[in-house]
């Protein structure tokens, strides 16, 4: 158990000015924890927390794709609070488009946040965690890190990559006393599906009417999602404080159902693959 019980814990949370990240920061401050929160707008973050004691908040404007900025943010966190205990890589945004409609710039921008930004944070914090032989990394993925749908290729690609990084990381740092978890929420009642947090392609293709229909359905979804971001934030705190969560912590009944379906379809594919798979081995040499 690496979560401190004799003092306030220090958290580093990315993507903190909206949605799940904002709710997590709010609850941590209400618990009396120290919080370094990265955002593209510290003003928006502090305004959203005007009803909370922010004396333990360090709000940081950080471009996560810039390693030097991330390093400075982590250094500022440890200088202000004297240490670091939990890192939550939460920053991200949605994007809906057919594969053919995703521009190179949009693809690289998504990976800058969801993949390279996470890598920059990990490179900045892991040396400290190893030195102190404690620390906890919680990477916020999505049910779309386990499966994908038409129109979600770019977003899911980033989350699939995050899942791979996290699984490798968990095995690599276990002997250093560092804990690692993935959190995989379903749809939550945040701004994720509103224009402020959702990317759309500049040019669309009439060859994909089903994708256009899916986009319209999702744009009409806000306010109907099952997931409560306040409860999801509380669940992330439980993951950190309990020490009992699995590597893949699913959140939301919708995610549970989709994950179960993914397991079944993957199992079906494994069985269907078996006859051809066995034909590609190099035969064993006959015994002398």
DSSP 168-198: HHHHHHGGGT-EEEEEEE--BSSSTTSTTTE
pLDDT band at 287 (very low <50, low <70, confident <90, very high): confident
**Alpha-carbon gap, residue 90 to 280, rounded angstroms:** 41
55 noted as active-site residue: no
pLDDT band at 59 (very low <50, low <70, confident <90, very high): very high
3-18: burial string, b at 16+ Cβ within 10 Å, e else: beeeeebbbbbbbbbb
Of the two residues 111 and 193, the one the predictor is more confident about is 111
Whole-number pLDDT of residue 217 = 83
Q: Tell me what the mean pLDDT of segment 43-52 comes to.
A: 93
Q: Tell me what the mean pLDDT of segment 235-261 comes to.
A: 96
- E-strand ranges in 112-247 read 136-140, 179-185, 198-199
**Alpha-carbon gap, residue 173 to 164, rounded angstroms:** 15
Q: What is the CATH number of the domain that holds 240?
A: 3.40.50.720
155 noted as active-site residue: yes
Marked catalytic residue, from 93, 95, 155, 208: 155
Per the domain annotation, does 248 fall within a domain? yes
Whole-number pLDDT of residue 41 = 87
Spacing of C-alpha 129 from chain mean position: 20
Q: Which residues contact 126 (CB under 8 A, 6 or more apart)?
A: 173, 178
Query: What are the pLDDT digits (tens) for 71-127?
Result: 999 999 999 999 999 999 999 999 999 999 999 999 999 999 999 999 999 999 999
Of the two residues 47 and 188, the one the predictor is more confident about is 47
Of the two residues 9 and 228, the one the predictor is more confident about is 9
95 noted as active-site residue: no
Whole-number pLDDT of residue 175 = 97
Marked catalytic residue, from 159, 187, 208, 255: 159
Per the domain annotation, does 154 fall within a domain? yes
Per the domain annotation, does 285 fall within a domain? no
Per the domain annotation, does 269 fall within a domain? no
Q: Print the SS3 string covering 230-277.
A: HHHHHHHHHHHHHCCCCCEEEECHHHHHHHHHHHHHHHHHHHHHHHHH
Per the domain annotation, does 281 fall within a domain? no
Per the domain annotation, does 76 fall within a domain? yes
Residue 171 structural domain = 10-254
Marked catalytic residue, from 93, 95, 134, 141: 141
* Sign of the torsion formed by the C-alpha atoms of 41, 155, 11 and 51: positive
Q: Which residues contact 13 (CB under 8 A, 6 or more apart)?
A: 21, 24, 25, 28, 35, 36, 37, 38, 87, 88, 90
Per the domain annotation, does 263 fall within a domain? no
Count the Cβ atoms, other than its own, within 10 Å of residue 227. 20
Nearest Cα to Cα of residue 150 among 209, 108, 206, 193: 209
**Alpha-carbon gap, residue 147 to 264, rounded angstroms:** 12
What's 199's DSSP letter?
E
Q: Tell me what the mean pLDDT of segment 143-162 comes to.
A: 95
When divided into structural domains, the chain yields a total of 1
Q: For residue 22, what is the enclosing H or E element?
A: helix 19-31
Give me the half-sphere count of Cα atoms (radius 13 Å) on the Cβ side of residue 216.
6
With tokens 């386990």, the residue in question is: 146
Whole-number pLDDT of residue 223 = 64
Per the domain annotation, does 4 fall within a domain? no
Query: What are the pLDDT digits (tens) for 208-217?
Result: 999 998 888 8
- Retrieve residue 216's tokens: 């319209």
Whole-number pLDDT of residue 219 = 79
């Amino acid at each position: 158990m690496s979560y401190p019980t004799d003092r306030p814990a220090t958290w580093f949370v990315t993507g903190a000015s909206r949605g799940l990240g904002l709710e997590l920061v709010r609850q941590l401050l209400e618990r009396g924890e120290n919080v370094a929160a990265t955002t593209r707008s510290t003003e928006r973050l502090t305004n959203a927390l005007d009803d909370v004691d922010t004396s333990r908040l360090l709000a940081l404007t950080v471009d996560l794709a810039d390693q030097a900025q991330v390093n400075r943010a982590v250094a500022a966190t440890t200088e202000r609070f004297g240490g670091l205990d939990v890192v939550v890589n939460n920053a991200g945004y949605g994007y809906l488009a057919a594969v053919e409609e995703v521009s190179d710039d949009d693809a690289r921008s998504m990976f800058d946040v969801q993949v390279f930004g996470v890598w920059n944070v990990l490179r900045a914090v892991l040396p400290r965690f190893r030195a102190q032989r404690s620390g906890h990394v919680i990477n916020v993925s999505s049910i779309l890190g386990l499966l994908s749908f038409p129109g979600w290729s770019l977003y899911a690609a980033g989350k699939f990559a995050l899942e791979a990084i996290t699984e490798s990381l968990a095995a690599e740092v276990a002997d250093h006393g560092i804990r690692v978890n993935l959190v995989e929420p379903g749809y939550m009642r945040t701004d994720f599906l509103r224009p402020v947090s959702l990317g759309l392609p500049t040019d669309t293709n009439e060859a994909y009417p089903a994708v256009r229909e899916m986009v319209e359905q999702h744009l009409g979804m806000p306010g109907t999602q099952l997931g409560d971001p306040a409860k999801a934030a509380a669940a992330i705190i439980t993951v950190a404080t309990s020490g009992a969560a699995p590597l893949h912590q699913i959140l939301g009944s919708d995610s549970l159902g989709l994950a179960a379906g993914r397991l079944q379809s993957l199992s079906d594919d494994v069985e269907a693959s078996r006859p051809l798979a066995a034909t590609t081995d190099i035969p064993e040499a006959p015994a002398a």
